[in-house]
Amino acid sequence: MSEVPSHNYPSLSDNFSCGFVAIVGRPNVGKSTLMNHLIGQKISITSKKAQTTRHRVNGIYTDNEAQLIFVDTPGFQTYHRNALNDRLNQNVTEAVAGVDVIVFVVEALRFSDADRKVLQQLPQRVPVVLVINKVDKDKAKDQAIMQAFIDEVQQAFTFAKVALVSAKHGLGVAQLIHILKPMLPQGIPLYPEDMVTDKSARFLAMEIVREKLFRYLGEELPYAMNVEVEQFAEEDGLYQIYIAVLVDKDSQKGILIGKGGEKLKKISTEARLDMEKLFETKVFLKVWAKVKSGWADDIRFLRELGM
């Protein structure tokens, strides 16, 4: 987070704001789903099983008025006390310590002791926005029932604002961004606007494979190869990544694959392990060699080399 590359924003408004937003809530309320919608893509792991988010993930939303840097936190562990849960709680406290706004997520019509315990752990000085998620639930459509629920939650804490959303369907998410923007300090963006995008995840996956090619094939050969992401998908917390290594001769393909396929296997296993660490999720990776003669004329490749 400390290394901030320089970049230009030609169309930023004069009173641009930029700040950190922590998303907190007990397990399974929909924090990851919400963050995915806030930044418009899937970068966080979501699943039906509670406690899927083990590490803090930053999602970045940028438009010409503001940059919101979201900190996704693991659910506060209020049921079981063990070393892992203590560590998770510590991460949450660390994550919310330096933010500008806290988004406290509850599930519509379910306000339990676990939710109250999360509220009790929030710092006093940071404004908290109450986000009631899963308003698509049938019972939540009854206005009187919903109003009684909102009142109940508001009695437990003084919230700066309230927003109703259905993270799963993306409802109310734009309104939430609108609520959060004026709560951030004025300042220039800390990250490039395309920092957290599908493209950058693809790019990172490509870079990892490229790095392994250099490691296992020596310095010369990888320059004669191009790496292309053919498919990049995420489903149920599993990343499926298909990467082709383009070579222009059969002999190069042979060197890349190695005796009995050993070399390519090693490259792809190591790349997969690095990706799992980086994306903090399981990765299915397929790397294969493809002969594409004349590819060096490919404009995209030349551009990548800065030519």
Q: Which of 9, 12, 40, 51 binds ligand GTP (CB under 6 A)?
A: 51
CA dihedral 294, 302, 305, 239 (to 10 degrees): -80
Q: How far apart, in whole angstroms, are the C-alpha atoms of residue 244 and residue 252?
A: 14
- Name the residue nearer to ligand GTP (CB basis): 169 or 249: 169
When asked if residue 210 is in the footprint of ligand GTP (CB under 6 A), the reply is no
Give the three-class secondary structure for 264. Answer: helix
Q: How far is the CB of 278 from ligand GTP (least distance, A)?
A: 19
At 183, list the tokens: 């709560």
Where in 121-150 is the site for ligand GTP (CB under 6 A)? 133-134, 136-137
- Token pair belonging to 18: 């930029």
Residue count at the site for ligand GTP (CB under 6 A)? Answer: 24
DSSP state for residue 171 in the 8-state scheme: B
* Closest approach of ligand GTP to the CB of residue 198, in Å: 18
* 303 lines the binding site for ligand GTP (CB under 6 A): no
Residue 137 vs 161, nearer CB to ligand GTP: 137
Q: Which of 84, 48, 89, 55 is nearest to 72 (CA)?
A: 55
> Which H/E stretch holds residue 195?
none
Helix or strand run (H / E) with residue 174 = helix 173-180
> Is 74 assigned a ligand-binding role in the annotation?
yes
Residue 134 near residue 166, CB atoms below 8 Å: yes
Segment interacting with ligand GTP (CB under 6 A) among 23-31, 120-128, 183-191, 280-288: 23-31
Interaction between residue 48 and ligand GTP (CB under 6 A): yes
Helix, strand, or coil here: 286? Answer: strand
The alpha carbon dihedral of 219, 222, 223, 228 has a sign of: negative
Among the listed ranges 40-48, 79-87, 205-213, 240-248, the one in contact with ligand GTP (CB under 6 A) is 40-48
Least Cβ distance, residue 114 to ligand GTP (angstroms) = 11
CB of 177 to ligand GTP, least distance (A): 16
| Binding-site annotation, residues for GTP | 25-32, 72-76, 133-136
Binding site for ligand GTP (CB under 6 A): 25, 27-33, 46-48, 50-53, 74-75, 133-134, 136-137, 166-168
